[in-house]
Amino acid sequence: MKYLLLLIIIGFGFFLFGCIETGEASVTDTVANVEHQGLVWKTTEMYLTNDHDTFYCLQDSKLIEKAKKLSETKGKATIYYKINMFFFPWDCGGGSDKYSNGGLVTDIIEKG
């Protein structure tokens, strides 16, 4: 019974924090576009020039502004992101198939 209660608490913790992180990665490319989407849960997505099929989710307002600036100037940057097993609808639009190769952006470093 103690183990069942422990499993329930751990499961609720995963639900509360929103995702299970499975890895981190980075990519260097030119930011092609930043889009805002969603009817109920608004999301901000970014895609890169060399990989139009992979979208990256932006949540932090500072990162959104930096990505918008880079898309306007066609600036090159290194994008750091985390890869999650799943997303909730309020967290990156539910993580549909288009997030299978991308993820949640954690940092953007401009290349001079």
What is the C-alpha separation between 100 and 92, in angstroms, rounded?
Answer: 12
* Position 11 in a domain: no
Confidence of residue 99 (pLDDT cuts 50, 70, 90): very low
Percent of the chain clearing pLDDT 90 (strictly above): 25
CB 75 within 8 A of CB 32: no
Q: CA separation (Å) from 79 to 2, 12, 17, 72, 84? A: 43, 31, 23, 16, 16
Average pLDDT of span 25-44: 85
- Structural domain total, the chain: 1
- Please indicate, yes or no, if residue 52 is contained in any of the structural domains: yes
Does residue 101 form part of some domain? yes
58 token code pair: 């932006």
CA distances from 23 to 34, 54, 63 (A): 23, 16, 20
- In-domain check, residue 6: no
- Say if residue 106's pLDDT is above 60: yes
Note down the domain range covering 46.
21-110
55: domain CATH number is 2.40.50.140
This prediction's pTM: 0.74
Q: How many CA atoms lie within 13 A of 27 on its CB side?
A: 20
Domain assignment of residue 9, yes or no: no
Domain presence at residue 10: no
Q: What is the pLDDT of residues 37-90, one digit of tens each?
A: 777 777 888 888 887 677 888 889 999 999 999 999 988 999 999 887 766 666
| Domain assignment of residue 16, yes or no | no
Rounded Cα gap, residues 48 and 60, in angstroms? 18
Q: What is the mean pLDDT of the chain?
A: 80
Q: Is residue 72 part of a domain?
A: yes
Q: Rounded CA gap, 54 and 38, in Å?
A: 18
Position 78 scores a pLDDT of: 94
